[in-house]
Structure 1
């Protein structure tokens, strides 16, 4: 084994992968718990009436703020990637990000106007430090095992979605049924647990992610034979202009709408000032991108072009996929029949119990496997992780007891109700929370990720373009389902009682599409990009995701205008057609992109 070999990490494995992967698995799980738990509540909180504790915003304003927040979350990863690469290392970046996010969730739990905005700002910067550097550690860990990367990222993505599932389920339930502060606050508690577990287990990563030193930088440069191309002063100036215009636009877009035009940074450019600013920034960025690509050696340049192509497709994927916490949540809240009785009530309670307990049991089993390999050396970290799981089990069981009592299936004494902090009910009812449907995405990923991981490692592994094409077709199929279900809703209708089956089908097909695109996209970046650029290029990748996220917000802003004029179904058919077109384009480009990838699978 060579001095720089990463085979050392495969001496102690869990499910065929290094134990360190599962330390990252659980750290990321708690971070995603907090992120998705809060995000599932944001639109509902902003649009809820004052009497329900919300801010009573219009859907347009709520979608504008949501799109800018999520876009900034992914945009900030470029900053976090740079600091990790050049100054503090991957590990410290993860810890700094986790601390900022813990403070952000705590701030949101206070629920004042200032604290909500402060919390969103802290979450933006926290995610920027945290997110790109987790994937960078995985990339380094699998440096000498490239054939295992797709499987590793898919398993890691399973941890991401385990956190998302429990975050949406528990934070969403507490936020909707108990109080917004409880949902926001719970998210911060588990982010804190994730940070402690990572910090106390960090030695399992060997030298990966340590603070860069002069010696490590020199060693990295010696191993890297690719031509270096430092930015010129003109290029740096263009980057600065693009960054300033982009940041001002993404902040000004919701600010100008929420303030009714009182705040408008680009007002001096006229009514289309916002559009002029962002189009100018995009044109300058594209020119800079072309200039930079021409400076690299042919093979490196062509691989980077391939990454850019996949990043371009990713924009469309996320702009449509991220209707989940936006237009699809609105559809669930206002247009879906969520009240169940009789046999359907019984069926839902049983299914909800199973999808809560079974995934939690599976993740607990993975935790047990990790304990067997690491408890001796990382006992405190494992005990903290155990404590967090005990809390999750406690909250989940309390939720299920409350649901069965509210539906009239169990009887609880007044003393028990008081002990469990459950309000007494006079009429039995089962109402599915609007946020519950978003958990289906994570549930399906937990169930299907191992199958897709095996597919990617088999001889039937599709090409990169085919994976993207299949993913977009599945995205289109999901949108077609909800478009068909909404066909009976008249233009301008504010409420309806559409069957829940359409939303369930949407999340099933969208999940399979996500498994074809999101985790394998990260894997391709790690395979195609030179080692010294890996963290920064993950940041660039998340820039594409940020554009897609803001695009999702822009789509969501127009749902009312389109629904009032053409009907809600028309809105979802539009997204179906866009998905189909992008999928066809991806497959058609297969010969070109395959050549640019130079044999990388």
Structure 2
């Protein structure tokens, strides 16, 4: 049955159901913890553990791949076994343990701590968005605005974390910065239990079943095993990559199997979802450059003296969530306005536009080298502008990707498909690490700022051109994809 909305609900993106606010805040705190660690991890590998830049990027890529590769399993647990809400709680607890292990770890235990974080994120990540999708009726015009605001929660958390974490690491130490992540997850857990009544009637069918302690015990034992398995993978990257591709093949195979159960119109929509996921992999490969190659570019070749202050160059990463926070409500209101007027861009058009903006963001950085000062440093304005275009592209691809999944696939496999969407980030973790390795320079070259400037800007320029070519191809296929979505 279609949901009947009042006139106020039709025009206001801030009029959302009560469960939205619980999900908004728990996602905020979980992302706060995650980005507080991610923002400093690649540099931590180099400066604290003595990794080369190339090894740092490869390890970071494997960590990112495992973080998102396990999301499919978390979505399945939420759909079929524990229930969405119980899986959220379990994932939050495991994540908190992982971050506290990071805060008190040594070089011999760091990979176990990262393995626990990968497992906890896998349990958690798919389920809040799956829960949110169940709060809206069919054809509810608020859904694009809701998922855009939900995405803003992610970026408010990461914005604060990416300012605090590098600063704490600089003045107090790495372990103290990791402790910040653990505190964020404890707050997320308290927040959930304080507001859990608002989601009492929302969830997957498994949420409605009584909790079976034996089943929970099996899940906990499996979670512990996966933590140690992730530790092994992070220490053996070739094995980790092989595991990822096997998971990807199995996931795509299951997706195709489920797609063939549907009628022709539904199969076409699911095929569009698969195509857009491939396009998302390309975007997330670019996104992975923020904590890796773009981060080190800011450290070595961007002037960090702003308004009389020397800021930690790693905090330039906070420009991404800053622009997301600024642009999210504007885009959400635009979606609502254009949707009511019948002039909204299709999902395929938004993806193509987002990829175009990402191509511009990297192409810009190529020209920065022509304006470097006598020390080989470029103005921070270049990276501010680059982050603006990439963040705008992110809102059109990453934020709407989740809403796209909610619209194009059957509700019966919603949790699994949400997990599959996050698998695109896992694949991009590996491809992003490989791409970042083209900017890796030996420590002996770091002192030569003009050498590092040439390496970074030339690589970014090539990335920009290739991305713009991909965007043109996407624009060409927009009409065909629109027909598939409409069922014509």
State the TM-score, normalizing by the size of structure 2.
0.85
Mapped partners of 1:331, 1:565: distance in 2: 8
Distance 1:517 1:162 in 2: 18
Separation (CA, whole Å) in 1 of partners of 2:164 and 2:324: 18
Instruction: Provide the aligned length of Structure 1 versus Structure 2.
Output: 456
Q: Deviations over 1:436-479 (max 9, x none)?
A: 11111111111111110011122232111111111111111111
Residues 1:516 and 2:396 aligned together = yes
Aligned to 1:449: 328
Q: Distance in 2 between the 1:183 and 1:90 partners? A: 30
Q: How far off is 1:289 after superposition? A: 5.7
Conserved 8 A contact 2:89-2:189: yes
Tell me if the contact between 1:336 and 1:500 (Cα under 8 Å) persists in the aligned partners.
yes
Q: Give the C-alpha shift of residue 47 in structure 1.
A: 1.0
1:559 aligns with 2:439: yes
Q: Of 272, 297, 303, which residue of structure 2 is paired with 1:306?
A: 272
Deviations 1:9-67 (A, max 9, x none): x8xx993112321221111111110001100010111111xxxxx11210111101111
1:72-221 paired onto structure 2 within 5 Å: 72-144=66-138, 146-209=140-203, 212=206
RMSD between aligned residues: 3.3
In the alignment, does 2:479 pair up with 1:584? no
Whole-angstrom CA distance in 2 between matches of 1:173 and 1:448: 26
Give the superposition deviation at 1:192: 0.7
Aligned to 1:458: 337
Q: How does 1:364-443 map to 2 (within 5 A)?
A: 430-443=309-322
The TM-score normalised by the length of structure 1 is: 0.70
Q: Are 2:363 and 1:467 equivalent residues in the alignment?
A: no
Distance in 2, Cα, partners of 1:286 & 1:30: 31
Structure 2 residue 68 is matched with structure 1 residue 68? no
> Given the superposition, is the C-alpha separation of residues 214 and 192 from structure 1 closer, same or farther in structure 2, using an over 3 Å criterion?
closer
Per the TM alignment, residue 115 of structure 1 is displaced from its structure 2 partner at its CA by 3.2
What residue number does 1:16 align with?
Answer: 15
The whole-number CA distance in structure 2 between the counterparts of 1:305 and 1:197 is 38
Distance 1:210 1:574 in 2: 45
Is contact 2:148–2:329 with CA below 8 Å preserved after alignment? Answer: yes
Counterpart CA distance in 1 for 2:193 and 2:244 is: 40
Assess if the C-alpha contact under 8 Å between 1:87 and 1:211 holds in 2.
no
**Aligned 8 A contact 2:79 2:204 in 1:** no
Structure 2 unaligned segments of length 5 or more: list them.
211-225, 443-450
1:596 counterpart residue number: 484
Q: Which moved more, 1:118-127 or 1:591-600?
A: 591-600
Q: CA deviation at 1:521?
A: 1.0
C-alpha displacement of 1:560: 2.5
Does the residue aligned with 1:594 lie in a helix, a strand or coil? helix
1:88/1:279 Cα in 2 relative to 1: closer, same or farther (>3 Å)?
closer
Task: Tell me, yes or no, if structure 1 residue 26 matches structure 2 residue 20.
Answer: no
- Displacement of 1:518 in angstroms is 1.1
8 Å contact 2:350–2:397 — kept in the other structure? yes
Native 8 Å contact 1:27 1:197 kept in 2: yes
1:569 aligns with 2:457: yes
CA distance in 1, matches of 2:59, 2:467: 24
Question: Which 5+ residue runs of structure 1 have no aligned equivalent?
Answer: 49-53, 217-243, 258-263, 267-273, 346-429
SS of structure 1 residue aligned to 2:137: coil
The 1:498–1:138 alpha-carbon spacing in structure 2 relative to 1, beyond 3 Å, is same
> What is the CA-CA distance between 1:256 and the residue it aligns to?
5.2
Question: What's the offset of the Cα at 1:579?
Answer: 1.5
Distance (whole Å) between structure 2 residues aligned to residue 280 and residue 21 of structure 1:
35
1:251 shift after superposition = 6.8
Deviation at 1:149, TM superposition (A): 0.5
Q: Counterpart of 2:51 in 1: which secondary structure?
A: coil
The alpha carbon displacement at 1:298 in A equals 1.0
Q: Deviations along 1:490-509, whole A, 9 cap, x unmatched?
A: 9xxxx832221111111111
Matches within 5 A, 1:253-268: 255=235
- 8 Å contact 2:67–2:119 — kept in the other structure? yes
Inter-partner Cα distance in structure 1 for 2:180 and 2:453: 40
- Provide the residue aligned with 2:301 in structure 1: 335
Q: How does 1:492-507 map to 2 (within 5 A)?
A: 496-507=376-387
Q: Residues 285 and 501 from structure 1, CA distance in 2 versus in 1: closer, same or farther, beyond 3 angstroms?
A: same
Residue 369 of structure 2 contacts residue 454 of structure 2 at CA under 8 Å; is this kept in 1? no
- Runs of 4+ aligned structure 1 residues displaced above 4 Å come to 4-8, 213-216, 247-252, 277-292, 487-490, 561-566
Distance across 2 between alignment mates of 1:189 and 1:301: 44
What residue number does 2:219 align with? none
Aligned equivalents of 2:299 and 2:91: distance in 1? Answer: 33
In 1, the alpha carbon distance for the partners of 2:64 and 2:153 equals 20
CA offset at residue 193 of structure 1? 0.6
Q: Structure 1 residues 214 and 178, CA, compared in 2 at 3 Å: closer, same or farther?
A: closer
